[in-house]
């Protein structure tokens, strides 16, 4: 029998006797339950798409994307935001994760913080969120008052607001877009770091990856706007240039150095045989799109 009317708090009939299972049986049970998560996410794609277009619109107006969450939800938001700068050479401010309870809550549970509605209101003003920005509240149960406080205040300011949940939920009037993914009861009752957390991770990846592609941060599926911040990424950048143009690795690395570590600029330099300054101007003329820049000259790179 369910102990709650919320999916995230219900008991899972498939795992009622999990404490009688051996390790292999438990692992198989968890795996079976996880297999349904992508299908639940698939049903939410129309809402995710709507939010993505709002995010891209914000980025093109020099706005930002903020994630606001508590517990696992907040940690996943911070994680996704932290990966954007090195992957896509984006400013650290472009995508920001706001963790209920502050940075200390990333590694230690801060009990009760998610119930602080006024703290959620205050963080929006502290972060300087404006009507150019998008804010996505993440609360798998739909109950985190901190998240709702932040969303209501952001809506008052004129920001685009989204809410990501894993329960049936009536959309509040201060939420523009409701992203609902019903993954069902957890393997361990109420442990939303499991299926709900997996769904959240998938959706956040989808939002930022799709947004970055639409912002011309890739050529095909190649990471042509990566940030060369370490040896591995310098090597990856040079290998991308080598792959796309067919030139020798050492020449590719020399070009990358001349381009200040900017793979996209180096590719334009190599493909059109032009200096750095001209390559940069060509890209700017096409809003940073490598494909459009090269299409103008009838050039196609290897993929």
Q: Catalytic residues, which ones?
A: 83, 114
Determine how β-strand 177-180 pairs with β-strand 95-99.
unpaired
DSSP state of 222: B
Query: 78-86: long-range contacts (C-beta < 8 A, 24 or more apart)?
Result: 78/106, 79/201, 80/201, 80/204, 80/205, 80/208, 81/208, 83/208, 84/208, 84/212, 85/227, 86/226, 86/227, 86/229, 86/233
Closest CA to 180 of 195, 164, 198: 164
Angle at 160 between CA 158 and CA 166, to 5 degrees: 135
CA distances from 113 to 150, 190, 196 (A): 13, 18, 20
Q: Is residue 140 classed exposed, middle or buried when 0-12, 13-18 and 19+ CB atoms within 10 A define those classes?
A: buried
């Amino acid at each position: 029998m369910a102990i709650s009317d919320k999916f995230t708090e219900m008991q899972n009939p498939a795992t009622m006797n999990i404490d009688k299972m051996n390790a292999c049986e438990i692992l198989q049970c968890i795996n079976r339950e996880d297999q349904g998560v992508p299908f639940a996410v698939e049903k939410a794609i129309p809402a995710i798409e709507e939010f993505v277009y709002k995010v891209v619109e914000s980025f093109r107006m020099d706005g930002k994307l903020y994630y606001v969450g508590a517990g696992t939800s907040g940690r996943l938001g911070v994680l996704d935001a932290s990966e954007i700068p090195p992957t896509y050479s984006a400013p650290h401010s472009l995508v920001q994760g706001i963790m209920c309870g502050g940075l200390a809550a990333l590694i230690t549970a801060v009990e009760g913080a998610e119930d602080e509605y006024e703290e959620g209101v205050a963080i929006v003003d502290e972060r300087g969120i404006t009507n150019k920005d998008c804010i996505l509240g993440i609360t798998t149960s739909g109950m985190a008052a901190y998240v709702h406080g932040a969303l209501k205040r952001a809506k008052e300011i004129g920001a685009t607001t989204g809410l990501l949940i894993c329960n049936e939920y009536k959309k509040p009037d201060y939420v523009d877009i409701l992203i609902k993914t019903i993954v069902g009861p957890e393997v361990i009752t109420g442990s939303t770091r499991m299926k709900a957390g997996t769904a959240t991770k998938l959706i956040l990846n989808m939002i930022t990856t799709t947004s970055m592609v639409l912002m011309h941060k890739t050529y095909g599926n190649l990471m042509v706007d990566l940030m060369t911040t370490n040896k591995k990424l310098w090597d990856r950048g040079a290998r991308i240039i080598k792959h796309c143009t067919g030139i020798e690795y050492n020449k590719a690395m020399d070009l990358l150095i001349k381009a200040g570590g900017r793979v996209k600029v180096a590719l334009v330099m190599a493909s059109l045989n032009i200096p750095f300054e001209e390559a940069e101007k060509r890209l700017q003329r096409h809003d940073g799109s490598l494909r459009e820049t090269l299409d103008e000259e009838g050039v196609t790179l290897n993929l």
